[in-house]
Structure 1
């Protein structure tokens, strides 16, 4: 008998193994494990207390994309699972990045960290969103800028677009939004595909829920035509704001902020006031603002300006309190101080905006204006840097001219004089 018949079976580690021999369900599970592991969605923290977070958030993940390089079949299978599970949204803008930065920072939108070449060539996304500003022959074309985030955060991006619509210059006339859904079963945009209509509705739901009055907004690609048409009609429809309702909502936000401030919750107070200011900035600019001002007339404009001044002044006081609490932390004092100066500038800017509101007759009372300037003067002094001496002196002198012999203003004038001698030698 041949001795070969008595040989033991080969050890398991010596047998070959082909990944593609695994059932498709197991391969998909493996793809999900190595390509779709990202950190949970971070909570949206209140950001009204400071003007904005300093940094843009980035998605942290443990994705291992090397398997995509093995063969075309594995690439097609894995990239599809990656796209369907991670649901990346690719944003390409051809307008100044500074007009988008507030959305990323204030809404704390986590984006995928990578360089522009990688992001522009990324194929594994379920939806792209192009924001294009039309330029005339006299302007130089802008270089597109790309960033990518998860669909789970699209609601934050849409919130930002709605609240910061006024930041995007001449939005109604020059800026277009082009949404393209992508069917990765064919890896190209199509008008129909394996995605169900329910899935398509889920993808575009944040746009339908959050946006109104975006007149140059298009949805195309792997989406049912009737769904796209209905969504575009809803998003394109101009806002029909009622002046009295708008004022009532803003007064309510102001009152909530005042209540929170009175209860010692300064962060929540500033959040309520920030929401009111964002809404006012959006309403008072662009074509929707023009329609609202026409409907409300002079009384509406004057009441809006009064609200804007009061809220900015309240926020300035809030930031001033924070500066006093954190005097031992120069970096925080600088941050709160800059926010205070921004609030003061906002109040003064709205009061003196004759070009936008030439018919406005409202002006703050002498007492309110003096208080605002006093807050500016104290804030400049607490920042402590030499370059703010002149601003502090101008503010306190103007306040003293408005309210002569006021003891609070006189004491602050003395403090500023001492500070000036100390920092100028």
Structure 2
């Protein structure tokens, strides 16, 4: 049985600390040098792990991807596995929000803190650790490919276009996506579905210019009031999304605990959760709509004037089967239908990404579940995720016959995208051990 003692824990941690030290934020306006340095370090680590033909792939308009491979044994029907992760990270945000510096990996109470520790430099580190422990990769009895992206957080999707243009290069029988998370520390988890998303910006205009509220208030329409009325129609009295035409799926996987969710989400005492039905369905297989931003005068310095124009950014999370363009069109149609007073409307669809159903019942998924149990010495949980991984959904469309494994070393305390992001060091080792066990089993099967 594979255990985390098969993994070189010291090198695993050192690799992750070295990656975290590079502020590889790929968003516009941030320095490009740390992004390139993270690509270089990833290339170096993959070479050291025994991969061949390791190269950096130019991605038009984005940070390079890093790719390496070892061919399957000649003349065999051994499977090929592609391991995926990404080296780019979210911005750190305010420095004073972090207990310790964001780009200095720091251990506290068995957890390693720093930007990228969980999302998703730990994915690179566990891939490298598993490949090192596998030994002679040419003798492993399977083909291995590794693809590490440098633009996942920006959501531009240009890597998907590159893969689609050269599908044979990245083709695999199984894709192991190390960008998932455990439902809790020590609970090995397979992610079986992803929600998609669509982002629509709506601008409401009512007047040519600001006008004194004492002169025109009571007759002239205020754009911010009109926009507020529109936003208020996006949900019914229970808090369920009221936009017609959106997919809603039942959830038949593990249930979610409401009290645990309230704690994790930071819901204030006395504030009710929104929506009806099982919590897992609300979070994993039904749509949600959030007004994530509004452009309007700020309270400080606001004058007594009617507002001529106001804009909102409406972010939708979508059922795994939902076509994101159709969802955006449905939201636009809803806004047009409910807009009051004949206001003028303008729309911009600024982001689209599909969700995915990743199965969980095929031979690779079965092997992955057994590998998780071996690595963690605990029963496996199967759960969906409310977040989106656009490349994962695109790979499922490009390679419809492939199987997918989505997992990771993060957990419910990882605070990805937030200050004090962290990973449990024990689970990091166990996740690497699980991946090693999966590669061994697929190689033996091949």
Identify whether the pair has TM-score above 0.5, normalized to the shorter chain. Answer: no
Higher share in helix: 1
TM-score, normalised relative to structure 1: 0.23
Q: Bigger radius of gyration, 1 or 2?
A: 1
Higher share in strand: 2
Task: Answer 1 or 2: higher relative contact order, Cα 8 Å, separation at least 6.
Answer: 2
TM-score, normalised relative to structure 2: 0.22
